[in-house]
Amino acid sequence: MVRAALLTAVGAPLELTEIEVPQPGPGRVRVKLAAAGVCHSDLSLANGVLRTATPVVLGHEGAGTVTAVGEGVTAVRVGDPVVLNWAPACGACHLCGLGEPWLCERAAQGYGETFAALADGTGVYPGLGVAAFAEETVVAERALIPVPAGVPLTSAALLGCAVLTGYGAVHNAARVRAGESVVVYGLGGVGLAVLQAARIAGAGPIVAVDVTPEKEELARRHGATDFLLADGETARAVRKLTEGHGADHAFECVGRGSTIRAAWSTTRRGGRTTVVGIGGKDDLVSFSALELFHFARTLSACVYGNSDPAKDVPLLAEHVRAGRLDLEALITDRITLDEIPAAFERMAAGHGGRSLVVF
């Protein structure tokens, strides 16, 4: 039996309990977690914004050590340090064939299958196929990425979602070039990773926008040249910082219709607005037909950083080793499993960066 933070029903509080994690079957791998990041998507699953079967162990951003492998597993061995991948591409579907593994049609295959059981035999589902809010988990072989040399195992957990998403949004989805201006809405873990990625790209100015004044120091530490509190004057303030044009690139890292609209409004004519946050299905965004023509802006979504983890994680490791990417700076709170509810509260209130469960 291993300890886990269990969601028994959508909207219910998390419960610290014990679950039975089996030995891995064919093509499966058992992993002992070293650390797991607390992502806003976990909160969205817990409160019903995103759908999940229950009972479920949430947590999809994690890293650990392989403790057992099932029949046919060849990619990893016992003792290997690994990052968990919540959207593992199959490599064989239509979208993978188009070179878009982040949109893989089979990435969610494991979400609806139980991976563990309670003491009474009730099956437990893995949140986004990963279940990182447990001391140990079992995942498919293709859901693992080897941790590159030179990256500490605990902070490597952030590579599994926040950093891969934020870096990919800048370099893969928006393809920000040196000298282009960037505005980032929402400074949670992903938003802070976007700031670092924009700095690595040589962007400037880099404007950070949030509703919480305490985020200014954090934003500047991650590469922001300017900080704005979100209000009705944000678009005007961004134009003032960009010679009257608006930003070449706006990144929305909140997942809210009103924030997407605000990010769009701060983008210059012909600029690009990239939506990184995950919003609710009933939260609508509207544009007039005339403004779509007049502003000629590009509005696009970014899924998992439009990344191929097998290629992008080693690239991120190079940035870490060279000192360009600071994983530790993203972590504002190190917590235990039973402190996840408090981390959810801080996140909902807009406080801090990434909370990291350290096992």
pLDDT tens across 124-138, in order?
Answer: 999 999 999 999 999
The pLDDT value recorded for residue 177 is: 98
pLDDT at 215 over 90: yes
pTM of the model: 0.93
Q: How many CB atoms lie within 10 A of CB 2?
A: 16
Residue 353 — pLDDT band, cuts 50, 70, 90?
Answer: confident
> Which option is the CATH number for 163-303: 3.30.390.30, 3.40.50.1820, 3.40.50.720, 3.40.190.10?
3.40.50.720
Counting every residue written for the chain, the total comes to: 359
pLDDT, tens only, 72-106: 999 999 999 999 999 999 999 999 999 999 999 99
Class of domain 2-160+326-358: alpha beta
In order, the DSSP letters of 141-187 are GGGEEEPPTTS-HHHHGGGGTHHHHHHHIIIIIS---TT--EEEE--
Note whether 15 and 56 are within 8 A (CB): no
The pLDDT value recorded for residue 103 is: 95
Residue 351 — pLDDT band, cuts 50, 70, 90?
Answer: confident
Residue 179 — pLDDT band, cuts 50, 70, 90?
Answer: very high
Question: Where do the domains of the chain lie?
Answer: 2-160+326-358, 163-303
In order, the DSSP letters of 271-322 are EEEEE-S---TT------HHHHHHH--EEEE-SGGG--HHHHHHHHHHHHHT
Q: What average pLDDT does range 199-206 have in this prediction? A: 97
Residue 63 — pLDDT band, cuts 50, 70, 90?
Answer: very high
pLDDT at 149 over 90: no
Integer Cα distance of 146 and 30 in angstroms: 14
- What share of the chain in percent tops pLDDT 70? 100
- What share of the chain in percent tops pLDDT 90? 91
The pLDDT value recorded for residue 290 is: 96
Integer Cα distance of 311 and 97 in angstroms: 16
Mean pLDDT of the chain: 94
